Chains A and B, each alone.
Chain A
Amino acid sequence: MSTPAREALEHNATPWLFGVAALTTAPHFLHQPYWLSAFASLVLLWGFRLWQRDLRLPGRWLMIPLVIVGCAGILFEFRTLLGRDAGVAMLVMFMAMKLLELKSRRDAMVVITLGYFLLLTHYFYSQSIFTGLWLLTATWLITAALVRLHGGPASRWRATLRYAAQLCLQALPFMLALYLLFPRISGPLWGLPQDALSAKTGLSEQMSPGSIANLVQSGEIAFRVHFDGPLPASDKLYWRGPVMEDFDGTTWRQATARSAPERVEARSPPITYQTTLEAHNQRWLLALDAPTTLPADTFLNSRMTVNARQPISQRQRFQLAASLDYRFNPQEAPAVLRRNLLLPSGLNPQSARLAATWREREKTPLAIIEQALRLFASRDFAYTLQAPLLGTDAIDDFLFRSQRGFCEHYAAAFVVLMRGAGIPARVVGGYQGGERNPLDGYLVVRQSDAHAWSEVWLEQQGWVRYDPTAVVAPARLESGLSNALPFAELPPALVRLRSDLMRNLRHRWEAINNAWNQQVLGYDPLRQRELLARLGWPDADWAKLAGALAVACAGLLAVVTAWTLYQRPEHDPALRLWHKALRHLHRRQVNCAPWETPRALARRLDSERPELAAAFDRVVEAYLQARYGKVPGDLKTLRERVAQLP
């Protein structure tokens, strides 16, 4: 059926395809290897040049080696051709290469479909509001290219853009209906490739001097919390991450050994809250101490950290409850207690001696803890991000020489002193505090709220939290880091927060972003069920949803069809009545030829359909009278006569 001439790609439609390629590949240049960007750009420019001069496109002898070189490059760069990043790189390369073989309309369709596909891949990297707006714009432009491709040489670019916009606008209601009603499935359907979890900022499983000081330089949001009741006091907000027990002299590590299950006894009414974690590719949920109710698919480990079964690789929402006053493991396994007394042998002799004297002199562990805290408070300790480098005996160096450090220094030194004095102690990593956004009431916890504190095990009381930072820099707990540090030391991400105007704008922007995250991006199977229940449909299952979706889409399609096919009626009422009469004739198999005047048609009816002629004659006379008569506008007669047609 198809002839080559008809299927050939129109010369003037080709720039639209170059536009599509540039539009969909360019944003990937931000995160793909430079050589690939250069390769794609060169191929695109070359293809454009060939088009400009109307030269012949390269043949197989060139295309096949180019593809092989490109694939080899990707294989070398990513060590695979599959997976997320390598897949995106392959798509970008194919898009560029396809521009060198644009011959038929079918090739153009491939470019456009590939373009739509590439749009999807941008959401691997960002799903912000801007990306969402960009989605609409890019879809519009690609659609315009599609319209131009099929409109032929008669298309005008302005009309093409307008038409594409009209089509996209009509597609929007379908998008909304599908977004709300399409039965949602929680991903992933199969194991994600490793590179789906790229490196993210956040706490790590180990802590060494300077690691948290580095982290707080970032103003990125770690998670957002919405409390169902009033916001608890800031110095109560300890968000627990990894608990680190193994110390080698510089670095603290999470213990791997299993131990007896945790026993948490709540001693105050639970506070319920909802936390929305940004992806951090770790398993901990950063729950508020001490967790009492857990969401599904999570568990409490023996260190009271709430963990998910899978690393959190995308923004996720959890419903939790916490009791701020609690008692944790008053009967601890002896193995755990022994482990929490271990110190690297031979290191930090000065600290060991100090601890030993405390142990001899004081009678109760509480008194020893008192001694230690007094040490941090009385001596000339400074809370600073610019801690000097420490030697092999890092704790000694810090306690007796530099005396300048950040929370990880204080927590580590405190734990070493406790262990030296025979009290089981460990370091806890996490976040402390947060900033309440007055616009939407969410508590925003940033990387700059990262913190480390200590936990000490006491007879009958279990593990009790002690935060030496609170002694050194009380402002840190009460009003956050930006007030606890000297101004000159503030990381750039925090400096801005001191200006009220900027803070206000930032709150506003983050509230909008949060609404977007919660309502749009966070629309998951759970939210879908909630929404349907609120709409009075509590037991919607997969099949019912599909039915509702089909009905909604059919309804929308009917509306769009009616809207599209509707023609505004004629302005001239006489002409409108005349057309009605003609439609009447049409139903009786008489068609008025375009060149036929009303009188000529009446004459033809006289001979062809005498049974209609008399009534129609009267219509013709009334129509001519109403339309061209001396007293125009006698529509009543015409209307009556049209109605009288047999």
Chain B
Amino acid sequence: MGLLSRLKQRLFRWQSDGTGGFRLGQRRVFIIPTRGGLLFALALLVMLIGAINYTLALGHALVFLLAGLGLTGMVHTFRNLYGLLITPGRVEAVFAGETAHFQLHLGNDRRVPRLALELTTEAGPAVVTDINEQDKSTVSVPLAARQRGWLELPRVRLASRYPLGLFVAWSYLQPAMRCLVYPPPIFSPLPLPRPIAASGERRGDAGQDDFAGFRERQPADSPRHVAWKASARQGSEQPLLIKQFAGGAEVELQLDWSSTDPALPAESRLSLLAGWVLTAESQAISYGLRLPGEQIPIAGGAAQRHRCLAALALFQP
């Protein structure tokens, strides 16, 4: 690592564990004149020469007033960033090809608003936000998710030219934030489902489905499924009741790495699996996932979806 990059690393690294807030101190805020500021300075120089040449006393005063204005503008631009409290927020997982949004909470405990704060990453477009006095604002830094896996939030440049635009103050933020990127789904017909072996097998998964009601017991039902309390309330003449769960799939799917075409590249096979996960989820089918070296038991719901997609995202073939 070169000296310069080590210095940069040292200057710009955010020493945060990713949970705590971070306050922008004066050592982290940098400030330089903008192009507009240089134009302004040049105009002042020409004005000063004019004022001297024509001996304009008020011309001198104007030039000096504007020079003072530039200096105070510098201080105020610095203040617009100084003491800003930045806290990492949520990051929703996205599919590759989509845009990841990294939420940052910006807190302003000053009694003046902070306007026109620009957040940019080297890759993404700029986001502009304002925070009222003693208020918070949440801003999502967009970043294109190109590959599955973890997407680390790169260095974010937080900059402001407010109020006068003659100076730009900036700071580099590097919160430990990452976004899980699922493989891009390829939608294809689901593989043939495996018929339900026995409803009793679903017992372990019952907690993940919603309780829907009761039905009368059939002779085939296991006595362990009888809702004894509810049955007791019914009286002894009535048949016993069995708990029934909604969303309980009629079929169960075992999505398997080996059931995809081995001739395809690994990424495409993962995409096919991701497509199946989404299709199965949308059709309310319970499913499991089997990858080489990893096995996810059959279940349904958002948690299962995330578990499976995460496994696909982080799969190393």
Contacts and interface: CB of A to CB of B under 8 A. Distances in A.
Interface in A490-528: 520-524
A120 B56 contact: yes
A592 B57 CA distance: 56
A127 B58 contact: yes
Given A113-B43, A592-B21, A192 B54 contact: yes
A78 interface: no
Interface residues of A, number: 74
A3 interface: yes
Interface string A1-35: 10101100000000000000000000000000000
Interface in B103-117: 105, 107, 109-111, 113, 115-116
Given A117-B43, A152-B115, A178-B64, A591 B22 contact: yes
B35 A106 contact: yes
A590 to B, nearest CB: 8
Which among B49, B51, B60 has the highest number of chain A CB atoms within 10 Å? B60
17 contacts: A3-B125, A6-B128, A110-B39, A113-B40, A116-B43, A139-B62, A164-B163, A167-B76, A172-B68, A189-B52, A192-B54, A196-B54, A557-B71, A565-B79, A567-B83, A593-B20, A594-B21
A495 to B, nearest CB: 32
Given A564-B75, A593-B21, A593-B87, A187 B55 contact: yes
Interface in A174-198: 174-175, 178-179, 182, 185-190, 192, 196
Nearest to B136: A594
Contacts of B193: none
Nearest to A113: B43
Interface of A: 1, 3, 5-6, 84, 105-106, 109-110, 113, 116-117, 119-120, 123-124, 127, 131-132, 135-136, 139, 143, 146-147, 149-152, 154-155, 159, 163-164, 167-168, 170-175, 178-179, 182, 185-190, 192, 196, 314, 520-524, 553, 557, 560-561, 564-565, 567-568, 586, 589-594
B163 A119 contact: no
Which among A1, A117, A591 has the highest number of chain B CB atoms within 10 Å? A591
Contact of A182 (B56, B64, B164): B64
Given A6-B126, A565-B79, A591 B16 contact: yes
Contacts of B161: 150
Given A3-B125, A147-B163, A175-B68, A190 B53 contact: yes
A139 B164 CA distance: 13
B190 interface: no
A151 B116 contact: yes
Contacts of A150: 115-116, 161-165
Interface in B84-112: 85, 87, 105, 107, 109-111
B222 interface: no
Q: Is the interface of A mostly helix, strand, loop or mixed?
A: helix
Contact of B164 (A147, A179, A557): A147
Contacts of B72: 167, 170-171, 174, 560, 564
A314 B79 CA distance: 44
A4 B107 CA distance: 28
Q: Which 3 A-B pairs have the closest CB atoms?
A: A174-B68, A591-B20, A171-B68
Contacts of A523: 57
B87 A131 contact: no
Contacts of A187: 52-55
B50 interface: yes
B60 A182 contact: yes
B209 interface: no
Nearest to A608: B17
Which among B40, B59, B64 has the highest number of chain A CB atoms within 10 Å? B64
A553 B57 contact: no
Contacts of A154: 113, 115-116, 130
Contacts of A109: 36, 39-40, 165
Contacts of A557: 71, 75
A143 B69 contact: yes
B52 to A, nearest CB: 5
A148 B50 CA distance: 29
Contacts of B52: 185, 187-189
B68 A178 contact: yes
Given A116-B43, A170-B68, A179 B128 contact: no
A602 to B, nearest CB: 15
Given A139-B62, A154-B113, A155-B115, A146 B20 contact: no
A151 B115 contact: yes
A482 to B, nearest CB: 33
B164 A175 contact: no
Interface residues of B, number: 66
Contacts of B69: 139, 143, 167-168, 171
A594 B105 contact: yes
B73 interface: yes
B67 interface: yes
A167 B73 contact: yes
Contacts of B125: 3, 5
B82 interface: yes
B58 to A, nearest CB: 5
Contacts of A172: 65, 68
A132 B71 CA distance: 22
B267 interface: no
Contacts of B130: 152, 154
B21 A521 contact: no
B58 A132 contact: yes
A343 to B, nearest CB: 45
Contacts of A135: 58, 61-62, 65
B234 interface: no
A40 B50 CA distance: 24
B57 to A, nearest CB: 4
Contacts of B281: none
B75 A152 contact: no
A154 B162 CA distance: 12
A195 to B, nearest CB: 12
Contact of A151 (B17, B46, B107, B162): B162
Contact of B51 (A3, A120, A143, A314): A120
Nearest to A87: B50
A154 B165 CA distance: 16
Which among B55, B73, B116 has the highest number of chain A CB atoms within 10 Å? B55
A149 B165 contact: yes
B259 interface: no
A560 B163 contact: no
Interface in B1-32: 15-17, 19-23
Nearest to A178: B64
Contacts of A171: 65-66, 68-69, 71-72
Which among B36, B54, B71 has the highest number of chain A CB atoms within 10 Å? B54
Nearest to A126: B58
Nearest to A316: B55
A365 B1 CA distance: 106
Given A149-B165, A152-B116, A594-B21, A119 B107 contact: no
B152 interface: no
A186 B73 CA distance: 31
A179 B48 CA distance: 12
A227 to B, nearest CB: 25
A179 B126 contact: no
Nearest to A567: B110
A174 B67 contact: yes
B197 to A, nearest CB: 45
